[in-house]
Structure 1
Amino acid sequence: MAWLERHRLFPFLAWLPRQTRASVRRDLLVGLSGAILALPQSIAYALIAGLPAEYGLYAAIVPVLIACLWGSSWHLICGPTAAISIVLYASISPVAVLGSDDYIRLILLLTFLAGVFQWLLGMLRFGALVNFVSHSVVLGFTLGAAVVIALGQVPNLLGLDLASQATALRTLQGLLQHAGDIDWPSLLLGLGTLLLGLSIKLARPRWPALLISLAGASLLVWLWPALFGHVALVPAFIGRLPPLSPLPLLDLELILRLLPSAVAVGMLGLVTSLSIARSLSIRSEQLIDANQEIRAQGLSNLGGAWFSGYLSSGSFTRSGLSYEAGAQSPLAGVFSALWVALFAVAGASLIAHIPIPAMAGSILLICWGLVDHRAIRALYRVSRPEFLVMLLTCVATLLLELQTAIYAGVLASLFFYLKRTSQPRVQQSREGEADVLRVFGSIFFGASHYLQVRLQRCQAPVVVIDARQINFIDYSGVEMLHQEARRLRRQGRQLVLRRARGQVVEELQKLEGAADCPVQFED
């Protein structure tokens, strides 16, 4: 019991002792690649959120450490994201000046409240929410998100300075408007990085392709200033370790004002993180603990807020890199956070030599690896309705914001599920003077009308429902069967339920009592 309690409080004790020298070395290199990717992204996302650039780095250190150590996914890497940054900006910018001390304090307080909300959901074991995100939704979301991320990097690849957009459609419109402003050296550098990374990935899959290709591009820019001297580089920054940030937890009025936004952005972070975790777990054949993942997300934002880290959630780009680079455990994410901390203190000047087009080319390579082509083809062969759900989710991801696309995919999946279950398969046969209906499915509010119509079409003196495959019946189903039994009784006929499960019989007898139940039962 003490062993189980320790693992529940410190879940990293379950996998940390199993690490070998080879796996740690691999995770160390994967973490380095992730840190190089996270540094410029984190700075950009902080600026989108209206925060000083260094707050993006802070969000990529302590929150990532906590989420990796207390989470369950091998490959999920958290940190600041574009969607979260945009929502935070929209929530706080109307009430405080961008970048001011008040603005920063409100962002961190909102992060803390969202973390409390997420942690409470995890403690209440609401991880079942992830079950509503079907495999087809995950495939569509992954495909659409890969396209969105790739389109978002095309301006950097082309050397264009375009504002970040919330949807792929707006990004594409901006690209078409500036098609004549392409910087060819930037494009050459970005495509070269992409091809070099792809070649390394194909020839030497276990080599750190991202690190080598970015180092090569940086070296090329340094050696050939006449051609590449004007190419944009990652912005320089002054780094330090995350400082402690006291939160105004005693200001109840302020907390109540931020609470609705905290719930919304907290749920957005959870849905995004769980979708990414589930997507990668399907690829890696890993079973994730959704409740543990939710608690880890909450703890990361609870702790991160005290160390100047604004709200974090799962990152498709960094998580995809972790998977594609062959991370052996969550230790890769831990190393990524430690590398970010190290670079923030001692290596900021080195990061400033990385050309932005080369970074864009590397991200395009990651996006291609995120798409599960085999699963998409298999889904098309197996289930056309599920394939349609995947397409709808993908299109929603391209036209809407990422979080909205997830909700749209879940609703589409639920619609097709309800449509299918509302018309359960019914086999009808004749046994003497009885019509026998064998029902394959539960009798609930969505299926009651369909079954009632099938019962009313039966003309035999006795109507028998073979109930062996009926696992569940709700109040609507009970009321419908009672109504049909009374109708048949008035006509001198009867309704019989054959081989019904005990739970179904019990529910039918509850309405009017066992003695007065109009439905008859037969073994």
Structure 2
Amino acid sequence: MPLPNRQTLLPFLRWLPNTSPRSLGNDLLVGMTGAILALPQSIAYALIAGLPAEYGLYAAIVPVIIACLWGSSWHLICGPTAAISIVLFTSVSPLAQPGSQDFIALVLLLTFVAGLFQWLMGLLRFGALVNFISHSVVLGFTLGAAVVIVLGQLPNLLGISMPSQATALATLLNLGEHLPETDWCSLALALFTLAVSLLIRHLWPRLPALLLGLVAGSLLVLLLPQRLTAGIALVSAFEGQLPPFSPLRLELSTILQLLPAAVACGMLGLVTSLSIARALASKSQQFLDANQEVRAQGLSNLVGAWFSASLSAGSFTRSALNLQAGARSPLAGVFSALLVALFALIGARLIAHIPLPSMAASILLICWGLMDIAGVRALFRVSRSEFLVMSLTLLATLLLELQTAIYAGVLASLFFYLKRTSQPRVKVWREGEEELLRVEGSIFFGACHYLQQLLQRSSGERVIIDAHHVNFIDYAGVEMLHQEARRLLAQNRSLILRRARPPVTEEIQKLEGAERCPVRFED
């Protein structure tokens, strides 16, 4: 096996020499815009995950730099995301108190295990396996995750203190019990922040509406009398610093306990990242190496976990902004991460002035962006079975723990796929003494029973299978055709394959040899 060259180990060497002072300046401006968008989002996602606010900034630094330099996409920007954050919270909160040191340690360990899973997927060139999570599963999960996040943030929005719950239904029931405890000043502040953000988004869509909404909410709390704001909670203060080194507790029992959630998070992160990368590549006419991108995602989480970064994945809003703003290379993402690091170092005190109700209002806006209603309508029009998969995933997301919901969605998607492939499209017609069956699909173990029933119901003296559209046949398919051919021969009838492709013909003749094969062939 040839040794990997420098560009394989350090893929950024393929494009880095082509940078110029002009492209560097352009990428710096794009990176600055991306950092402004990343700041409120990263803090919000940390709170969704049950982590202190600073951990959102940490997740937008080291993993982003690694994913940009080692990835294949020019425009994909990674970092904490809403869906990943809520899965982290529901996976780890039953094991430790959210926000505690034990909770943080478990989140970082889960991130490391998920990153290792992703990196091995890329190393073994299994990147295509993420295609087994269909778009309908991702759509249903994203819708459900948005609802779960909204329910989880309503206590902050209403100024209520209540314990976290494992499922959306339990959260909703618990919230109903605590509604009389609503702090009306917190609710009014959240509505004010929401109104400011929506107004800015409507009048000046190019401005960072989330960031300005948070600034407006923070200023209002500073200006109002203390007696009105006494019950309004603020984001916890932290010491400004770069992402600190975090030694991981690599205990086998804990790793095994986190493994199902880590695999689910890893798969969800890969599907999200590759979907965004492919969409961007189609617009920018860029070649995308899926396996390299998978390896880069895994490496970013493997290394990021040691630097206090929770699990990261592709961010659609930041990646789309990167493309639309005219990024020339992945350095735009690197500059964005470095600017976030600068803010984490010198701007930490500003975060402690952000009210939790204002942050909850911003998270509600983020969740609204996750709800792809147009995609749901299109899915309903195009495929009812895929719409059912989406609905089942959505229901599982609301009733079950989120990592379980991902697996339920994948199983539902695979069930309908196997059901569809087990009944390939077959057109049957008669021409005199001949009965013709045109098969459009593979003849494999799952479809054998269905095809055998059609052959046994045939009545022509010559039963002809038009196999021009059959690309694959397995041993079970070969054995079934031999069995049916012998049955027809015993009735002085014949089974003929017409226009079969050479690989299919060879597989059928292997069982008993070309001379003794009971199936006849015609061009």
Q: How many residues align?
A: 504
Q: Report the counterpart of residue 231 of structure 1 in structure 2.
A: 232
In structure 1, distance between residues paired with 2:476 and 2:112? 43
How far apart are 1:479 and its partner, in Å? 0.9
In structure 2, distance between residues paired with 1:480 and 1:421? 17
Q: In structure 2, what residue type is equivalent to 1:312?
A: L
How far apart are 1:356 and its partner, in Å? 0.9
Q: Report the counterpart of residue 187 of structure 1 in structure 2.
A: 187
1:36 correspondence with 2:26: no
In structure 2, distance between residues paired with 1:504 and 1:113? 42
Q: In structure 2, what residue type is equivalent to 1:81?
A: S
Q: Report the counterpart of residue 438 of structure 2 in structure 1.
A: 438
In structure 1, distance between residues paired with 2:278 and 2:141? 14
In structure 1, distance between residues paired with 2:30 and 2:170? 39
Q: In structure 1, what residue type is equivalent to 2:266?
A: L
Q: Report the counterpart of residue 394 of structure 1 in structure 2.
A: 394
Q: Report the counterpart of residue 221 of structure 2 in structure 1.
A: 221
1:490 correspondence with 2:490: yes
Residues 117-516 of structure 1: pairs in structure 2 closer than 5 A: 117-226=117-226, 227-245=228-246, 257=253, 260-261=256-257, 263-278=259-274, 280-281=276-277, 289-307=289-307, 309=308, 311-314=310-313, 319-322=315-318, 328=325, 334-335=334-335, 337-516=337-516
Q: Which moved more, 1:176-185 or 1:513-522?
A: 176-185
In structure 1, distance between residues paired with 2:14 and 2:519? 57
The SS at the match of 2:500 is coil
How far apart are 1:506 and its partner, in Å? 0.7
Residues 350/77 of structure 1: CA separation in 2 closer, same or farther (3 Å cut) = same
Q: Report the counterpart of residue 101 of structure 2 in structure 1.
A: 99
How far apart are 1:64 and its partner, in Å? 3.4
8 Å Cα contact 2:166-2:401 kept in structure 1: yes
Superposed CA deviations along residues 64-84 of structure 1, whole A, max 9, x for unmatched, are 332343334645533483423
1:83 correspondence with 2:117: no
How far apart are 1:435 and its partner, in Å? 0.9
How far apart are 1:45 and its partner, in Å? 3.8
Q: In structure 2, what residue type is equivalent to 1:140?
A: G
How far apart are 1:60 and its partner, in Å? 4.5
Q: In structure 2, what residue type is equivalent to 1:242?
A: P
Residues 177/22 of structure 1: CA separation in 2 closer, same or farther (3 Å cut) = farther
8 Å Cα contact 1:64-1:337 kept in structure 2: yes
The SS at the match of 1:437 is strand
The SS at the match of 1:178 is helix
For normalisation by structure 2, the TM-score amounts to: 0.85
8 Å Cα contact 1:130-1:290 kept in structure 2: no
The SS at the match of 1:81 is helix
The SS at the match of 1:446 is helix
In structure 2, distance between residues paired with 1:245 and 1:277? 25
How far apart are 1:358 and its partner, in Å? 0.8
The SS at the match of 1:157 is helix
In structure 2, distance between residues paired with 1:396 and 1:277? 23
8 Å Cα contact 2:466-2:498 kept in structure 1: yes
In structure 1, distance between residues paired with 2:275 and 2:449? 37
8 Å Cα contact 1:270-1:297 kept in structure 2: no
8 Å Cα contact 2:86-2:145 kept in structure 1: no
Residues 12/366 of structure 1: CA separation in 2 closer, same or farther (3 Å cut) = farther
Aligned alpha-carbon RMSD (Å)? 3.3
Superposed CA deviations along residues 167-219 of structure 1, whole A, max 9, x for unmatched, are 22222122211122222221121122122212222222211111111111111
Q: Which moved more, 1:76-85 or 1:62-71?
A: 76-85
Q: In structure 2, what residue type is equivalent to 1:215?
A: V
Q: Report the counterpart of residue 251 of structure 1 in structure 2.
A: none
Residues 100-115 of structure 1: pairs in structure 2 closer than 5 A: 112=112, 114-115=114-115
Residues 216/99 of structure 1: CA separation in 2 closer, same or farther (3 Å cut) = closer
In structure 1, distance between residues paired with 2:12 and 2:409? 32
How far apart are 1:470 and its partner, in Å? 0.9
How far apart are 1:515 and its partner, in Å? 1.3
Residues 356/256 of structure 1: CA separation in 2 closer, same or farther (3 Å cut) = closer
Unaligned runs of 5+ in 1: 249-253
Superposed CA deviations along residues 229-254 of structure 1, whole A, max 9, x for unmatched, are 43111111123223445668xxxxx6
8 Å Cα contact 1:270-1:294 kept in structure 2: no
Unaligned runs of 5+ in 2: none
Q: In structure 2, what residue type is equivalent to 1:408?
A: A
